């Protein structure tokens, strides 16, 4: 499944730790926005990693799973990098 993760993390250290963890499952689209390609089991691990890294009193993380119909209707405007077979951006960072 494709999952979008957006976050606002107060601490530079926690922000870096979260970004590094998310890179294991997907690609950074913007500074605080990731697109992940994960299984249901992986998504449980993503949620666990987020919970371990953030400070729930200072930080916020939004996790949006996209259904296949939603993914099929997604569009990118502007200079879009190439997509791999899973629909993830390639050639970034």
pLDDT for 92 beyond 60: no
Q: What is the DSSP string of 38-73?
A: --HHHHHHHHHHHHHHS-TTT-EEEEEEE-HHHHHH
**Are the beta carbons of 8 and 32 closer than 8 angstroms?**
yes
pLDDT for 70 beyond 50: yes
Q: Read off the pLDDT of residues 9-59 as tens digits, 9 standing for 90 and up.
A: 999 999 999 999 999 999 888 889 999 999 999 999 999 999 999 999 999
Q: pTM of the prediction?
A: 0.81
């Amino acid at each position: 499944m494709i999952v979008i993760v957006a976050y606002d993390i107060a601490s530079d250290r926690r922000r870096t730790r979260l970004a590094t963890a998310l890179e294991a499952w997907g690609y950074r689209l913007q500074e605080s926005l990731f697109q992940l390609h994960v299984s249901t089991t992986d998504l449980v691990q993503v949620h666990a990693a987020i919970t371990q890294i953030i400070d729930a009193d200072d930080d916020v993380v939004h996790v949006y799973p996209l259904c296949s119909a939603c993914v099929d209707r997604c569009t990118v405007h502007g200079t879009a990098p190439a997509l791999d077979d899973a629909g993830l951006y390639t050639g970034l960072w």
